[in-house]
Amino acid sequence: MKTLIFKLRYVLACSILMGLLITTSCEKEENLTESIESVDNVDNLEEKRFSTPDDPDFRPPNIPRPPQFDAVCVVRLAYLSYLRRCPENQSVVNGWVSVLLTRGFDDLAEGFITSHEANVKWNSQYHSFLSRNHLTSYQIDKKVYIAYRGLLLREPDVNGGIGWTHNLRQFGLKFVVNGIANSQEFANRLANISTECTNAANQCQF
């Protein structure tokens, strides 16, 4: 009899324990389901808030337009600034326009700065500049002098010329061209570029 009572108590205890385990498991599952649903709702909300259109409108003016410039004017001004003359014919203008559009402004500038004609044209002024400022060609390279003349329409200041000559030897002529072209002084020139273009068109046949 005692053995039977003991077995009944054991079965009852096991039943109660199993019931508690099942109840706890269900509650955890419900909580987990609620958490997952909450996360899903947040994701859906964020997706609705930041979603991109399925069919975006890429028609103008929604596409940013690149800056516009007159390539022929740039070539004319390069001739007038670096060589102090107008282009000789339409063919050379077209050739330099092609360089500008396919290889960039720095290649155009480099071509004029390193040309034999520019080297000869500025030779006298360059050596006069060195003599007046007690400088040597090692301190300020002629290519830096011509770059200043072509880009900023003036002689270098001594410190600037020495600094850009150092950069020329270390990084090359295109680095110098890009550096001077990114200066505030060159930006000021660009602000009046339309006037320069008009004057160049009136002055030059090509």
Counting every residue written for the chain, the total comes to 206
pLDDT recorded at residue 98: 96
Q: 151: how many CB neighbours lie within 10 A of its CB? A: 22
Scanning 51-157, the segments in alpha helix (DSSP H) are 71-78, 90-103, 105-113, 116-121, 123-132, 142-151
| Whole-number Å distance between alpha carbons of 21 and 17 | 6
pLDDT recorded at residue 107: 96
**Which residue type occupies 101?**
L
Residues 6+ apart with CB under 8 A from 71: 97, 100, 101
Pick among 3.30.160, 1.10.3130, 1.10.1740, 1.10.760: CATH of 84-203: 1.10.3130
| pLDDT over 50 at 126, yes or no | yes
Taking only the tens place, the pLDDT of each residue in 6-38 is 444 544 445 554 544 444 444 444 444 444 344
What pTM was computed for the model? Answer: 0.68
pLDDT recorded at residue 29: 46
pLDDT recorded at residue 54: 45
Confidence bin at 196 (pLDDT 50/70/90): very high
Which of 189, 152, 147, 183 is CA-nearest to residue 168? 147
Taking only the tens place, the pLDDT of each residue in 35-45 is 434 444 444 44
Determine contact, residues 152/189, Cβ cutoff 8 Å: yes
pLDDT recorded at residue 187: 93
- The average pLDDT across 136-152 equals 98
pLDDT recorded at residue 69: 78
Taking only the tens place, the pLDDT of each residue in 64-77 is 444 567 999 999 99
